[in-house]
Each structure stands twice: as structure tokens, then as C-alpha cells.
Amino acid sequence: MPLVRAYISIGSNLNNPVDQVEQAFHALANNLPASQLAARSPRYRTAPAGGPTGQPDYLNAVAALETALTADALLAALQAIETAQGRVRAERWGPRTLDLDLLLYGSITRNDPWLTLPHPRLHQRAFVLYPLNDIAPELMIPGQGPLAALLKNCPPLNMTCLDIKNEPATITPLNPFPVEPFSNLPP
Ligand code: A4P
Ligand code: MG
């Protein structure tokens, strides 16, 4: 099967997000069959979007993969990584040790509750669009248009980049995860 470029969003706001995100990159690089980690974005600390009030800030990042897995097999593998890192699905948009969403799988579009592509909220979320732009600024989002145009409608409010940009493939030293909360964004 030919290799497909896929983009994965990584989010964590429980049980040491710095370690969770690092472990997730490690699992994407080493534990996924028939796949290769092509790029990793800088990490961003972001205020929670939606979900219960008072949940901790998130650490977010995006990974690019080259994969020979089907989209369904890739999503199942991502969910297995989430489970291995202690993910419990308690409430929608609630705090989590690790969320791995399949943002894009090539230019495939698909509308099915088990797997919707592109990810249905990709185009309206700064915590996804900005790290995606750091590793794939020329990207066209099927059904939505150029990533650059989506960024213009989605200002980077209540988010801070924790890494040096333009070094996406480098494993950067871990920065301490700041503890002061942002004020929560409206749902
Ligand atoms: N599913 C359908 N399409 C996809 C896809 N493209 N990728 C299904 C991944 N999963 C997909 O997901 C719920 C169901 O969506 C799964 O059964 C899967 O088959 P989930 O991961 O169990 O639950 P969730 O993550 O709570 O739901 P959802 O709808 O994916 O949430 P979102 O939209 O990802 O939002 N704020 C900040 N700052 N940073 C965050 O990372 N994340 C969320 C979660 C909310 N607020 C956040 C963040
Ligand atoms: Mg999810």
C-alpha cells in the first residue's frame, strides 16, 4: 500500500502533560506499525476550549506521519496509545491524560461518527491550527481551503508556544510546564 501523509493532534491536561506528550511522540515514532514519524510541532500551552469549567490548561502539539495503515487501522492504533497512557473517557471534552485525534488522512473526506475526516473541529481550533501551521504551512484542508486562510479567522488567544519554532523534527529539551492558569475560554 502507498504511504499516506496523516496529521495527528496531541492534547493532554492530566498526570504531567509534558511527560504525556513526550510519551505520545515516542509511541507515534516507535510503536505504530507500517508508519514513520515525519515531523513534530512545537508544543503549546493552551486554555481549555469547552468542557467543564476549572479543568487545567492543556499541552497541545501536532505530529505528521507517513503511514501505510488504513485510516481505520490508524485511528484504532491511536486509541490503543491513548488507552496505554491511562485515558479514561468520562465526559465529553473533559480533562484527559492523552487525546490523539486524526486531523487529516491524505486528502480523504469522510463523514462517519467513528471517523470523520478532516477532524470536524480542526478548522475552528487555534490549539490545532497553529502547531499544524508550524510543520505544514502550505496545507490545504479538504472542504475548508488553505490552512493560512483558516488561521486568519482563528487568533491565537490564550496560548503560548513553549518551544523554539522551525525545529520541528528536533527533540527539544523539556521546558517546565507553567502553573499559572489562563482564564478559561468561553465554550
Ligand atoms: N472520531 C470521529 N472522528 C474522529 C477523528 N478524526 N479523530 C470519534 C479521532 N476520533 C474521531 O472521541 C470521541 C469519538 O470521536 C471517538 O469514538 C472516535 O471514534 P474521544 O477522543 O473519545 O472523545 P473527545 O476527544 O472528548 O471528543 P472529541 O469530539 O474528539 O473532542 P475534541 O473535539 O477533540 O475536543 N482544549 C484545549 N485547549 N486543548 C485540547 O486538546 N481538546 C478537547 C477535545 C476539548 N478542548 C480542548 C482540547
Ligand atoms: Mg479525541
The string of pLDDT tens digits covering residues 39-69 is 999 999 999 998 888 889 999 999 999 999 9
**HEC readout, 152-169:** HCCCCCCEEECCCCCCCC
Residue nearest to atom 35 of ligand 1 (CA): 93
pLDDT range class, residue 184, cuts 50, 70, 90: very low
User: Distance (Å, rounded) from C-alpha 74 to C-alpha 65?
Assistant: 10
Task: Give the pLDDT score at 57.
Answer: 93
3-state helix, strand, coil in the chain (%, to 5): 25, 25, 50
Asked if 75 and 87 touch (Cβ cutoff 8 Å), the reply is no
DSSP string, 47-111: ---SSSTTPPPEEEEEEEEEE-S-HHHHHHHHHHHHHHTT----STT---S-EEEEEEETT--B-
User: Distance (Å, rounded) from C-alpha 75 to C-alpha 59?
Assistant: 21
Residue nearest to atom 46 of ligand 1 (CA): 49
42: its cell numbers: 512545537
Global pTM reads 0.90
Q: Is 57 a catalytic residue?
A: no
Which atom of ligand 1 is found nearest the CA of 10?
Answer: 41
* Chain segment 142-164, per-residue pLDDT in tens: 999 999 999 999 999 999 999 98
Please state the length of the chain.
Answer: 187
**How far does the centroid of ligand 2 lie from the alpha carbon of residue 9, in Å?**
9
